[in-house]
Amino acid sequence: MLQLKNDHYEIGGLDVRQICEDFGSPLYIYDTAKMEAQYKRLQKAFKGSKLKINYACKALSNINVLRFFQQLGAGLDTVSIQEVELGLRAGFAAEEIIYTPNGVSMAEIEKAVAHGVRINIDNLSILEQFGAKYGNSYPVCIRMNPHIMAGGHSKISVGHIDSKFGISIHQRRHLERLVQSLNLNVEGVHMHTGSDILDVDTFLVGAQLLFDVARDFPDLKYLDFGSGFKVPYKADDIATNVEELGQKMTGMFKEFCAEYGRELEIEFEPGKFLVSESGTFCCQVNGLKQTTATVFAQVDTGMNHLIRPMFYDAYHHIENISNPKADPRVYTVVGYICETDTFANDRQIAEVRQGDILAFRNAGAYCFTMANNYNSRYKPAEVLVHKGKAHLITRRQNLEDLLHNQVEMEWPQK
């Protein structure tokens, strides 16, 4: 992750300015050392339980990142058939992949079954269709909606009463009858309430609800508690205390398993927790523009590359890696898209000059994966820093990439 050492910024021991010179701007840079540290931190927090960590592919889906987590021993959490196939290509065994779609057709679920991955269904109608086709011949996990309002923003809260995700806990009787009538083989129960959850008690309340639902199913192999761990975005920011959570939830889980009659696997599906802090997004200052009230720092990127500040009001701390020891001044950092793509308002940053490189922290999760080609701009390159070397893992796009899937018509001559 980005660190200031001897008056210059490094990632994995490498000078960030040099990485940008080597690979150009704008540029996403990821540090595998931070990914591994977060993975091991979670393992340690839940030491003593039968733990499975399924990396949430949607956070950062580059195949090299997937292979790295596969080598660490992780499973994979997927939400589309394309992510399933990407995971298989990355080397995950089918049984290491859990597929948790929302609002997809039965045809897509059938494709996932053909691949042999674990299936997690959050819709009674789809579950009924699944049971009619497969009966008890193919195991299934059931995603519940615990009706808990949690998360750092309304758009990333997915377990509340009006959410499109999950089967309501108030539909348990209907669910139980459906499972019995179709003789479904229910191997797991799942929930996920949202992202950026700070309060450990939110997880514990959800766990108690999931334990209660799990008692309805005698042949479970695992309980999946989703994720949503909050990571720090500022130097003095607070985050989910996963060590406290691990201590408390492990005790609760062991008590439940003793009552249930056998040890089950406890599963989580972190994405942001594993990769957010590993990522840095670098861009160059095109120019400075001063109005009557504001100094704009105009950069060579925009909402097409990093949409989270505009979409979620997300905060990304910004460092001037070209001028780190300068006195701070107040800037509004804006992009080059023909929209109001403001990254930061009235932000204190070390004095910015034209040509300086700015670095956005916490750019590992839901950043490049949400990038697009709006304004016909190219997507940036991605670099993975691993064991002291910078590896290009996605090349920068060019015009041919924009036109690759377009079909040019043959226009009739006048």
pLDDT in tens, 138-158: 999 999 988 775 444 444 444
30 token code pair: 């990821």
- Give the C-alpha separation, 361 to 271, whole Å: 16
- Give the C-alpha separation, 398 to 392, whole Å: 16
Q: Is 312 annotated as a binding residue?
A: yes
Helical H segments across 217-314, by residue range: 242-260, 272-275, 308-311
| Contact criterion met (CB below 8 Å) for 30 and 382 | yes
Looking at residue 158, what is its pLDDT? 47
Which has the closest alpha carbon to 248: 231, 225, 270, 269? 225
Low-confidence ranges of the chain (pLDDT < 50): 150-159
Residues annotated catalytic, as ranges:
338
Map out the domains of the chain with their CATH numbers.
2-29+278-402 (2.40.37.10), 46-273 (3.20.20.10)
Q: Is 366 annotated as a binding residue?
A: yes
Looking at residue 186, what is its pLDDT? 97
Give 365-406 pLDDT, tens digit per residue. 999 999 999 999 999 999 999 999 999 999 999 999 999 999
- Give the C-alpha separation, 13 to 22, whole Å: 15
Looking at residue 160, what is its pLDDT? 52
- Give the C-alpha separation, 187 to 219, whole Å: 6
Model pTM score: 0.93
Looking at residue 159, what is its pLDDT? 47
What angle do the packed helices 63-72 and 32-45 form, to 10 degrees?
40
In degrees rounded to 5, what are phi and psi of residue 298? -95, 125
Q: How far is CA 20 from CA 6, 169, 279, 358, 400, in A?
A: 19, 50, 14, 11, 23
Q: Is 339 annotated as a binding residue?
A: yes
